[in-house]
Amino acid sequence: MQTKPQAKYLKDYQGPSHQVASLELTFDLHPTKTNVKAKARYTATDEQTSLRLDGVDLNLLSVSVDGQPFEQYECTHEHLLLSGLPKDFELEIETEISPQTNTSLEGLYLSGGTYCTQCEAEGFRKITYFLDRPDVLTIYTVTVIGQQSMPHLLSNGNQIESGQLADGRHFAKWHDPFKKPSYLFALVAGDFDLLEDEFITRSGRKVDLVLFVDKGNLTKAPHAMASLKRAMEWDEKRFGLEYDLDIYMIVAVDFFNMGAMENKGLNVFNSSCVLANQQTATDRDYHTIESIVGHEYFHNWTGNRVTCRDWFQLSLKEGLTVFRDQEFSSDLGSRGLNRIDAVMAMRTHQFAEDVGPMAHSIRPDKVIEMNNFYTVTVYNKGAEVIRMMHTILGEENFQKGMQLYFERHDGCAVTCDDFVAAMQDASNVDLSQFKLWYEQIGTPMLTVETEYRAQSNTYACSIKQKHAQNDPIQSPLHIPFAIELLDKSGHALPLIVNGERVSKVIDVTQEQQTVVFERIPERPVAVLLEDFSAPVLVKYDYHLSELIHIIAHASSDYARWEAAQQAFQLEVFKGVEQFNSGSDITLASELLDTFSMLLRDRRGDLALLAELIRVPSFDTLSSCFEQTPVDALNTCIKRFERNIASQLVEPLKQAFEACEESGELTHDAVSARALKNVCLYYLAMVADDKVTKWIDNQSESDNMTLKFGALKAAFNAQLPTAEDAMANFDSQWRHDLLVMDKWFALQATQIGEQAIAKIKSLYEHPCFDKSNPNRVRALIGSFARNNPEEFHRIDGEGYKLLGDLLIELNAINPQNASRMLTPFMSWKRLDEQRSKLMRAQLERLSQLTDLSDDLFEKVEKALG
Q: Which is nearer to ligand B3K, 268 or 711 (CB)?
A: 268
Least gap, CB of 263 to ligand B3K (angstroms): 9
Q: Does 320 bind ligand B3K (CB under 6 A)?
A: no
Instruction: Reduce the DSSP state of residue 773 to 3 states and report it.
Output: helix
Q: Which is nearer to Zn ion, 315 or 596 (CB)?
A: 315
Q: Does 674 bind ligand B3K (CB under 6 A)?
A: no
Q: Which is nearer to Zn ion, 239 or 579 (CB)?
A: 239
Q: Does 318 bind ligand B3K (CB under 6 A)?
A: yes
Q: Does 683 bind ligand B3K (CB under 6 A)?
A: no
CA distance 419 to 404: 9
Instruction: Compose the 195-214 pattern: x for residues touching Zn ion by CB under 5 A, - for all others.
Output: --------------------
Q: Which does 176 bind (CB under 5 to 8 A by kind): Zn ion, ligand B3K, none?
A: none
The stretch near ligand B3K (CB under 6 A) out of 78-86, 253-261, 560-568, 640-648 is 253-261
Q: Does 132 bind ligand B3K (CB under 6 A)?
A: no
Q: Does 121 bind ligand B3K (CB under 6 A)?
A: yes
- Backbone conformation region of residue 345, classed left if phi is above 0, alpha if psi is from -120 to 50, else beta: alpha
Q: Does 262 bind ligand B3K (CB under 6 A)?
A: yes
Instruction: Reduce the DSSP state of residue 66 to 3 states and report it.
Output: coil
Q: Does 120 bind ligand B3K (CB under 6 A)?
A: yes
Q: Does 116 bind ligand B3K (CB under 6 A)?
A: no
Least gap, CB of 494 to ligand B3K (angstroms): 42
CB 550 within 8 A of CB 556: no
Q: Which is nearer to ligand B3K, 89 or 256 (CB)?
A: 256
Least gap, CB of 10 to ligand B3K (angstroms): 19
Q: Which is nearer to ligand B3K, 121 or 711 (CB)?
A: 121
Which of 120, 122, 262, 296 is the catalytic position? 296
Q: Does 258 bind ligand B3K (CB under 6 A)?
A: yes
Helix boundaries (H) for 787-827: 788-791, 797-812, 814-821
Q: Which of 245, 261, 570, 576 binds ligand B3K (CB under 6 A)?
A: 261
Least gap, CB of 438 to Zn ion (angstroms): 18
CA distance 338 to 675: 16
The stretch near Zn ion (CB under 5 A) out of 27-35, 253-261, 316-324, 636-644 is 316-324
The stretch near Zn ion (CB under 5 A) out of 129-137, 320-328, 329-337, 417-425 is 320-328
CA distance 280 to 300: 30
- Count helices and strands (H / E) in the chain: 28, 33
- Backbone conformation region of residue 580, classed left if phi is above 0, alpha if psi is from -120 to 50, else beta: alpha
Q: Which is nearer to Zn ion, 290 or 484 (CB)?
A: 290
CA distance 352 to 619: 9
Least gap, CB of 322 to ligand B3K (angstroms): 8
Residue of 563, 542, 493 lying closest to 522 (CA atoms): 493
Torsion of CA 693, 694, 699, 704, to 10 degrees: 170
Q: Which does 371 bind (CB under 5 to 8 A by kind): Zn ion, ligand B3K, none?
A: ligand B3K
The stretch near ligand B3K (CB under 6 A) out of 260-268, 717-725, 781-789, 818-826 is 260-268
Active site residue 296: yes
Q: Which is nearer to ligand B3K, 263 or 578 (CB)?
A: 263
Q: Which does 557 bind (CB under 5 to 8 A by kind): Zn ion, ligand B3K, none?
A: none
Q: Which does 261 bind (CB under 5 to 8 A by kind): Zn ion, ligand B3K, none?
A: ligand B3K
The stretch near ligand B3K (CB under 6 A) out of 58-66, 239-247, 294-302, 464-472 is 294-302
Q: Which is nearer to ligand B3K, 371 or 703 (CB)?
A: 371
Q: Which is nearer to ligand B3K, 123 or 629 (CB)?
A: 123
Q: Could you tell me how many residues of this chain bind ligand B3K (CB under 6 A)?
A: 12
Instruction: Reduce the DSSP state of residue 21 to 3 states and report it.
Output: strand
Q: Which of 98, 193, 279, 374 binds ligand B3K (CB under 6 A)?
A: 374
Least gap, CB of 415 to ligand B3K (angstroms): 18
Q: Could you tell me how many residues of this chain bind Zn ion (CB under 5 A)?
A: 2
Instruction: Reduce the DSSP state of residue 447 to 3 states and report it.
Output: strand
Cα angle at 24 between 21 and 27, to 5 degrees? 155
CA distance 159 to 157: 7
The stretch near ligand B3K (CB under 6 A) out of 278-286, 292-300, 461-469, 782-790 is 292-300
Strands 505-508 and 479-486: antiparallel
Q: Which does 367 bind (CB under 5 to 8 A by kind): ligand B3K, Zn ion, none?
A: none
Residue of 110, 177, 180, 170 lying closest to 138 (CA atoms): 180
CA distance 420 to 432: 9
Q: Which does 712 bind (CB under 5 to 8 A by kind): ligand B3K, Zn ion, none?
A: none
CB 194 within 8 A of CB 212: yes
CB 518 within 8 A of CB 499: yes
CB 477 within 8 A of CB 512: no
Least gap, CB of 210 to Zn ion (angstroms): 21
CB 467 within 8 A of CB 473: yes
Query: Using the 8-state DSSP alphabet, how is residue 490 labeled?
Result: S
**How many CB atoms are located within 10 Å of the residue 237 CB?**
11
DSSP of 492-539: BPPPEETTEE--SEEEE-SSEEEEEE----SPPEEEETGGG-SS-EEE
The stretch near ligand B3K (CB under 6 A) out of 226-234, 259-267, 745-753, 817-825 is 259-267
* Host H or E run for residue 223: helix 222-239
Peptide bond into 7 cis (omega under 30): no
Instruction: By CB under 6 A, name the binding residues for ligand B3K.
Output: 120-121, 258, 260-262, 295-296, 299, 318, 371, 374
Instruction: By CB under 5 A, name the binding residues for Zn ion.
Output: 318, 321
The catalytic site residues sit at: 296
